[in-house]
Amino acid sequence: MAKALRTVSQVTRSTDTAPIEGPLRTALQFFPGLTATLFILPVLLGLLGTWLPAFGYLPSIGADSFSLQPWRNLLDNPGIGKALGISLLSSWGAMLLSLLISCVLLAGCWQSQLLRWLQRSLPLLLAVPHAAFAIGVVALLAPGGWLLRLLSPWATGLAAPPFFSLMNDPNGFGLLLVLTLKELPFVLFMSFIALGQLQVERTLYVCRSLGYADTSSWWRVLMPQLLPRLRLPLYAVLAYGLSVVDIALIAGPNTPPAFAVMLDRMFNHPDITTRLTGSAAATFLLLLTVGSLLLWFFVERLYLYWMSRRASKGHRRDNRFVRSLQVGAGQVTAVTLLIITAGAFVLLLLWSVSFRWSFPDALPDSYSLRFWQRGWQQLSLPIWYTLATGIASALIGLLLVVACLEHEVTRRRCSARNTGPRLFWLIYIPLITPQIAFLFGVQTVLLQVNAWGNLWSLVWIHLVFVIPYLFLSLSGPYRNFDDRYLQQAEILCGSEWRALWRVKWPMLLRPLLAVTALGFAVSVSQYLATLYIGAGRLPSVTTETVAIATGGDRRLIAVFALFQWLLPLIMYSLALLIPWYIFRHRKAMQLS
Amino acid sequence: MLELKQLTLLLHNEPMFPAVNLSVPTGQLISIMGPSGSGKSTLLSAIAGNLSAIFSLQGDILLDDESVLGKRAAQRRIGLLYQDDLLFPHMNVEQNLAFAVPATTTGRQRAQRIVRALEYAGLEGFLKRDIATLSGGQRARISLLRTLLAEPRAVLLDEPFSKLDKALREQFRDWVFDELQRCETTAILVSHDISDCGDSRVYDLKKGALL
């Protein structure tokens, strides 16, 4: 009787049949919250630690009553108007130019061999540290730079470096140029990711069948779909441009400097009460950034509205001249970007081994390795700190991001609701918040808890910037992994952990190593974070490079910049070589 | 024995097919037929424990008189063979097969089982071969060997022959049926093509009855 009742109840019950989670999957559910806390908490604490001093409250220096005096001091600062102008010009200019160039490139060169090369080079271009890149470009384009040397005296007639300069010009055009060149690979990279979600080829086929030329289809049909998907990356570019200090120090004007540099000087002024003015300036920078993001949002909406009206008119004009111009401009840009990056690297190499190099010689007169010896002596400790921080933040970041993505994939399997990445926008918070707007606050908080100048504090703050890039780069390959392999592995070996460890993660080894290298590169690039949280006790290759970039011996600067460049390059090489070696007998796992 | 008792799947509260009442004795194979979109693959996913949460299930699934509904896929010991072989590309033949052999065996036993399995499949000497260098038929055979080496209590075959060409299809089908019989493995095969069913008993999913 009991058995019959049991059978009846079994037969009639309706079961929610979400795949049952094992203990590993159950443990994973804590990781998204933990990860979000880890990288949002410093930003929130830091902002609070900056906003209070902005209104006069910083008890540690005796300022214990609220006031607007810091804001008055800020407005009274000479050159603040010009400094703001420089920052706005360089940030907006770099964002708009990099977007325009990316669009022209994609529209003009889609499916071309050149674009494919560029796409493959993007991870390497992205890995180039900002400071090293800026130093290389400045060395290329400066009055005594390589470009002029190659053209002098036969083309320019110059026997001595000219007085005019594109770099460090008082209006910030040099800064604009360097920022554009640095942001272009990032915007392109995000564009390729976004285009992967659109059916580009089918769209072009349909548009052709409707009588539209490809370039016309790009601007009227594909760009309007691409632009909203690029919103967050473009916000990150804008925010970075407004708040960058290291590139502004190297390529930007000096008197007055860009606003973020002015701000940084306030935080490091011998008179500690200037910290209050600095906090007001940092808060103002945050407001300026928010305002810029909102403005871009409206500009984007306006553009989409205008384009939709234009596209609805049905004009199928195919202006061959414009089309050729686009193709030509795209090709020239792609080649220029690759040449400048390669040229900057080669130039740094030449300077690093030169002993004497007079203008207008195209190559050094004599060579020496003494500056490499000096560089190694001065950088051995910073290199150690850079490696320790970089490897720790890359590996911890990888662990957290993989756990979050694995949890997301499992939830998708187990939930009927659309479990798209609800918290995706959180990833962008550290990227769109000006670093300098919260780093001072973090420094203040860490000082209170005696954790300032501590290696783990430094790793933590680096994680704030590493995790977003890891997530952005790994989410595509991880989410697109054919989960049937994992299901099959779990069925075969009876263990979800074994299936992950022996099947899924080895199959994803290439992207996992690539993002680890990217995380390391992001960590190496951190200038302000290392400066503010390292307390001078944890110098990195980047902080030392920027320190001498504005006044040191060019040859030593080149050595420092090359060390900064080489460290991520080594990691990227390992990320390529390790899977190549492991899978050398596995054709299906090799790069096509 | 694999039993499906009053089993049906609901999508938006609508049953996808009439309730299935089916018993597959140990060592026997039953084919389930139905047109594309009738829910055959979804039914197999439900039995294997991989059913998407957009569906809900009514009824029960018993394996050797024990309900499997409360168990995760990895715990059910029900093998699954798709039309894609899903051989792990980063492992060679031996490693793919070894992955499936239960951990309770010794190293020597594992090696012997793998070699013997390859002999049955006519693939002697394929131990160290890279998966990517195998033909479609070879990959399909190794995929089934891997499934059987895990000593499943039942095997589900989801249109395993559909990607093979006609000549290979018949040959492979006969070999699969022979292997399942040799291993005395209970099996359910789903297909929309009656020729895939061979001499097995056929259950029509739409009609809800054995033909």
Residue in B60, B79, B89 nearest the CB of A588: B89
Residue in A16, A22, A494 nearest the CB of B53: A16
Taking residue A120's Cβ as centre, other Cβ atoms within 10 Å add up to 10
CA distance A427 to chain B (A): 28
**Same domain as B115, residue B206:** no
Residue in B59, B72, B90 nearest the CB of A19: B72
Domain containing B104 equals 89-151
A334 by DSSP, 3-state: which?
helix
Instruction: Please give the Cα distance from B209 to B211 (Å, whole number).
Output: 6
Residue in B6, B89, B146 nearest the CB of A492: B146
Note whether B88 contacts A503, CB cutoff 8 Å. Answer: yes
Cβ atoms of residues A395 and A388 within 8 Å? no
Single out the residue in B133, B151, B169 at which a domain terminates. B151
DSSP letters of A431-500?
Answer: HHS-HHHHHHHHHHHHHHTT-TT-HHHHHHHHHHHHHHHHHHHHHHHHHTS-HHHHHHHHHHHS-HHHHI
Instruction: Please give the Cα distance from A240 to A465 (Å, whole number).
Output: 12
**Same domain as B178, residue B145:** no
pLDDT tens by residue, B4-44: 999 999 988 888 888 999 999 998 999 999 888 888 889 99
Residue in A18, A488, A495 nearest the CB of B86: A488
Cβ atoms of residues A413 and B53 within 8 Å? yes
Q: What is the dihedral of CA A316, A321, A327, A331, to 10 degrees?
A: -170
Residue in B46, B74, B152 nearest the CB of A17: B46
- Cβ partners under 8 Å of residue A272, min gap 6: A61
Burial class (CB in 10 A: 0-12, 13-18, 19+), A498: middle
B103 or B174: whose pLDDT is higher? B174
Cβ atoms of residues B79 and B143 within 8 Å? no
Note whether A491 contacts B73, CB cutoff 8 Å. Answer: yes
Residue in B57, B67, B90 nearest the CB of A583: B90
Cβ atoms of residues A143 and A164 within 8 Å? yes
Sort out which chain A residues have CB atoms less than 8 A from B76's CB and list them. 491
Among chain B residues, the shortest Cα distance to A497 is held by B74
Amino acid A19: pLDDT: 54
Radius of gyration from C-alpha coordinates of chain A: 26
Per-residue confidence band for A1, with pLDDT thresholds at 50, 70 and 90: very low
Note whether B73 contacts A19, CB cutoff 8 Å. Answer: yes
- Cβ partners under 8 Å of residue A243, min gap 6: A260, A285, A289, A434, A435, A436, A437
Percent of chain A clearing pLDDT 70 (strictly above): 92
Cβ atoms of residues A515 and A473 within 8 Å? yes
- Cβ partners under 8 Å of residue B64, min gap 6: B1, B153
CA distance B65 to chain A (A): 11
Per-residue confidence band for A264, with pLDDT thresholds at 50, 70 and 90: very high
A529 or A199: whose pLDDT is higher? A529
pTM above 0.90, yes or no: no
Sort out which chain A residues have CB atoms less than 8 A from B47's CB and list them. none
Sort out which chain B residues have CB atoms less than 8 A from A26's CB and list them. none
Domain spans, chain A? 22-52+369-592, 82-368
What does the pLDDT average to over B117-136? 91
- Cβ partners under 8 Å of residue A393, min gap 6: A459, A462, A463, A466, A519, A520, A523
Query: Does the structure show a pLDDT above 70 at A242?
Result: yes
Work out how many domains chain B is built from and give that number: 2
**Same domain as B112, residue B25:** no
DSSP letters of A220-285?
Answer: IIIHHHHHHHTHHHHHHHHHHHHH--HHHHHHS-SSS--HHHHHHHHHT-SSTTHHHHHHHHHHHH
What does the pLDDT average to over B104-121? 87
For residue A32, the one-letter residue type is P
Among chain A residues, the shortest Cα distance to B146 is held by A492
Per-residue confidence band for A552, with pLDDT thresholds at 50, 70 and 90: confident
Cβ atoms of residues A178 and A203 within 8 Å? no
- B13 occurs within a structural domain: yes
What does the pLDDT average to over B114-142? 91
Note whether B58 contacts A12, CB cutoff 8 Å. Answer: yes
Cβ atoms of residues A559 and A548 within 8 Å? no
- B83 occurs within a structural domain: no
Per-residue confidence band for A17, with pLDDT thresholds at 50, 70 and 90: very low
Architecture of domain A22-52+369-592: Orthogonal Bundle (1.10)
Sort out which chain A residues have CB atoms less than 8 A from B155's CB and list them. none
Tokens of A458: 């430094």
Residue that the structure tokens 């080669």 belong to: A346
**Same domain as B163, residue B69:** yes
Which of B183, B202, B207 is closest to B191 using CA atoms?
A: B202
Ramachandran area for residue B5 (φ above 0: left; ψ -120 to 50: alpha; else beta): beta
- Distinct helix (H) and strand (E) counts, chain A: 28, 5
Amino acid A376: pLDDT: 92
Count contacts between A and B (CB, < 8 Å): 130
Amino acid B189: pLDDT: 93
pLDDT tens by residue, A114-162: 888 888 888 888 888 889 999 999 888 888 788 778 777 777 777 777 7
Residue in B52, B56, B78 nearest the CB of A15: B56
Instruction: Please give the Cα distance from A577 to A313 (Å, whole number).
Output: 53
Cβ atoms of residues A260 and A248 within 8 Å? yes
Note whether B72 contacts A20, CB cutoff 8 Å. Answer: yes
Per-residue confidence band for A320, with pLDDT thresholds at 50, 70 and 90: confident
Class of CATH domain A82-368:
mainly alpha
Per-residue confidence band for A15, with pLDDT thresholds at 50, 70 and 90: very low
Which of A160-164, B52-56, B80-84 shows the lowest per-residue confidence on average (mean pLDDT)? Answer: A160-164
Instruction: Please give the Cα distance from A468 to A426 (Å, whole number).
Output: 9
The number of CA neighbours under 13 Å toward the Cβ of A92 is 15
Among chain B residues, the shortest Cα distance to A25 is held by B72
Q: What pairing do the DSSP bridges indicate for beta strands B154-158 and B78-81?
A: parallel
Residue in B48, B74, B80 nearest the CB of A496: B74
Residues in A whose CB is inside 8 Å of some CB of B read: 7, 10-22, 413-416, 482, 484-485, 487-496, 499, 502-503, 506-507, 509, 582-583, 585-589
Q: What is the mean pLDDT of chain A?
A: 86
Amino acid A415: pLDDT: 64
Sort out which chain B residues have CB atoms less than 8 A from A6's CB and list them. none
Query: Does the structure show a pLDDT above 50 at A13?
Result: no
Per-residue confidence band for B82, with pLDDT thresholds at 50, 70 and 90: confident
CA distance B168 to chain A (A): 23
Amino acid A4: pLDDT: 40
- B57 occurs within a structural domain: yes
Question: Using omega within 30 degrees of 0 as the cis cutoff, is the peptide bond preceding A360 cis?
Answer: yes
Note whether A503 contacts B146, CB cutoff 8 Å. Answer: no
Taking residue A4's Cβ as centre, other Cβ atoms within 10 Å add up to 8
Q: H or E element: which one contains B21?
A: strand B20-24
**Same domain as B159, residue B144:** no
**Same domain as B177, residue B133:** no
Note whether B86 contacts A484, CB cutoff 8 Å. Answer: yes
Cβ atoms of residues B192 and B159 within 8 Å? yes
Angstrom CA distances, A224 to A100, A227, A231, A310, A311, stand at 13, 6, 12, 12, 10
The number of CA neighbours under 13 Å toward the Cβ of A251 is 31
Residue in B82, B132, B150 nearest the CB of A588: B132
Instruction: Please give the Cα distance from A322 to A569 (Å, whole number).
Output: 39
- Cβ partners under 8 Å of residue B1, min gap 6: B23, B24, B25, B26, B62, B63, B64, B65, B186
Note whether A415 contacts B53, CB cutoff 8 Å. Answer: yes
Sort out which chain A residues have CB atoms less than 8 A from B79's CB and list them. 491-492
pLDDT tens by residue, A481-500: 998 999 999 999 988 889 99
Burial class (CB in 10 A: 0-12, 13-18, 19+), A188: buried
Instruction: Please give the Cα distance from A529 to A533 (Å, whole number).
Output: 6
CA distance B202 to chain A (A): 23
Per-residue confidence band for A579, with pLDDT thresholds at 50, 70 and 90: very high
B102 or A567: whose pLDDT is higher? A567
- Cβ partners under 8 Å of residue A581, min gap 6: none
Eight-state DSSP code of residue A426: G
Single out the residue in B151, B170, B188 at which a domain terminates. B151
- B84 occurs within a structural domain: no
Angstrom CA distances, A580 to A296, A588, B96, B134, stand at 43, 12, 20, 21
Sort out which chain B residues have CB atoms less than 8 A from A489's CB and list them. 88, 99
Sort out which chain A residues have CB atoms less than 8 A from B90's CB and list them. 506-507, 509, 582-583, 586, 588-589
Query: Does the structure show a pLDDT above 80 at B95?
Result: yes
Note whether B55 contacts A12, CB cutoff 8 Å. Answer: no
Chain centroid, CA B157 distance in Å: 3
Which of A13, A183, A52, A90 is closest to A445 using CA atoms?
A: A52
Ramachandran area for residue A584 (φ above 0: left; ψ -120 to 50: alpha; else beta): alpha
Instruction: Please give the Cα distance from B6 to B23 (Å, whole number).
Output: 11
Eight-state DSSP code of residue B112: H
**Same domain as B72, residue B14:** yes
Q: Give the residues across from B8 on adjacent strands.
A: B58
Percent of chain B clearing pLDDT 70 (strictly above): 100
pLDDT tens by residue, A325-371: 888 888 888 888 888 888 999 999 999 999 988 888 888 888 999 99
Query: Does the structure show a pLDDT above 50 at B210?
Result: yes
Query: Does the structure show a pLDDT above 50 at A2?
Result: no
Amino acid A424: pLDDT: 66
Q: Give the residues across from B32 on adjacent strands.
A: B190, B203
Eight-state DSSP code of residue A65: S
Q: What is the dihedral of CA A164, A168, A172, A177, to 10 degrees?
A: 90
What does the pLDDT average to over B188-203? 86
Tokens of A91: 């940030």
CA distance A502 to chain B (A): 9
Percent of chain A clearing pLDDT 90 (strictly above): 48
B126 by DSSP, 3-state: which?
coil
Note whether B73 contacts A413, CB cutoff 8 Å. Answer: no
**Same domain as B101, residue B190:** no
Which of A356, A354, A357 is closest to A368 using CA atoms?
A: A354
Among chain B residues, the shortest Cα distance to A3 is held by B65
**Same domain as B94, residue B159:** no
Cβ atoms of residues A95 and A184 within 8 Å? no
**Same domain as B15, residue B36:** yes
Sort out which chain B residues have CB atoms less than 8 A from A410's CB and list them. none
Sort out which chain A residues have CB atoms less than 8 A from B69's CB and list them. 15, 17
Q: What is the dihedral of CA A341, A347, A348, A350, to 10 degrees?
A: 150
**Same domain as B22, residue B117:** no
Per-residue confidence band for A20, with pLDDT thresholds at 50, 70 and 90: low
**Same domain as B204, residue B118:** no
Query: Does the structure show a pLDDT above 90 at B182?
Result: no
Angstrom CA distances, A317 to A125, A221, A312, stand at 37, 15, 13
Sort out which chain A residues have CB atoms less than 8 A from B72's CB and list them. 19-22, 490, 496
B70 or A511: whose pLDDT is higher? A511
What does the pLDDT average to over A455-477? 91
Amino acid A316: pLDDT: 65
Sort out which chain B residues have CB atoms less than 8 A from A504's CB and list them. none
Sort out which chain B residues have CB atoms less than 8 A from A501's CB and list them. none
CA distance B12 to chain A (A): 11
Angstrom CA distances, A180 to A100, A101, A174, A195, A439, stand at 11, 9, 10, 21, 25
pLDDT tens by residue, A413-442: 766 555 445 566 787 888 889 999 899 899
What does the pLDDT average to over A261-290? 92
- B204 occurs within a structural domain: yes
